[in-house]
Amino acid sequence: MNWFRFTTRTLLTLTLVVALMVYLWPKPDPNATDPKWRETLPANSKPLLNIPDVSSASLNDDLVFVTATNSGNTTLEYRGSSQSCISLFEEVHRNSAWKQYGWPVDGPCEGFYEIAPGKSVRLEMELWEDEMPVRMLGRFSEKGTDRTGLIVLANSVNLIEIAE
């Protein structure tokens, strides 16, 4: 009888532990960027601590305008063809996750631009894909550090709501 009681308690305890593990196991963030982007970031880069605030999305035909504000204490840097045209990385929504779709090729016309602490810049971008949900990301770095990250600048789902 003791063996039966021990086995039953052990099985119940194991079942409870497994159920708790499944329930408490971290779920993937459905809004996270595609992990493949890590390959496009500088080697050994660390995540951004100073993340720009992105707001004021507006739409004019295929052009999207957003304001990126540096509310941190470090200067943010980005690449682009001009101060208002940041190099973009594109993701499409497939199989309940955002997947890498396209990214810029650094060219001789691109320069480095900065957003000082407390300052804002208005960025314009063109949506590249109309047929499926898409979002545009910009790569920012903290000047003088090894911190780099991709930040969502625009999402076609949100822009459709703005246009209506």
Residue 162's pLDDT band, with cuts at 50, 70 and 90, is very low
pLDDT over 70 for what percent of the chain? 84
Q: How far apart are CA 44 and CA 67, in angstroms?
A: 29
What's the whole-model pTM score?
A: 0.74
Residue 161's pLDDT band, with cuts at 50, 70 and 90, is very low
Domains of the chain: 35-163 (2.60.40)
HEC string for 63-127: EEEEEEECCCCCCEEEEEEECCEECEEEEEEECCEEEEEECCCCCCCCEEEEECCCCEEEEEEEC
Instruction: Summarize pLDDT for 91-133 with one digit per residue, the tens.
Output: 888 888 888 887 765 555 678 999 999 999 999 887 765 677 8
Count CA within 13 A, CB hemisphere, residue 164.
6
Average pLDDT score over residue span 130-142: 86
Instruction: Summarize pLDDT for 33-61 with one digit per residue, the tens.
Output: 777 877 777 888 899 999 999 986 777 77
Residue 36: what are its φ and ψ, rounded to 5°?
-65, -20
Residue 132: what are its φ and ψ, rounded to 5°?
-140, 160
pLDDT over threshold 70, residue 12? yes
SS3 19: helix
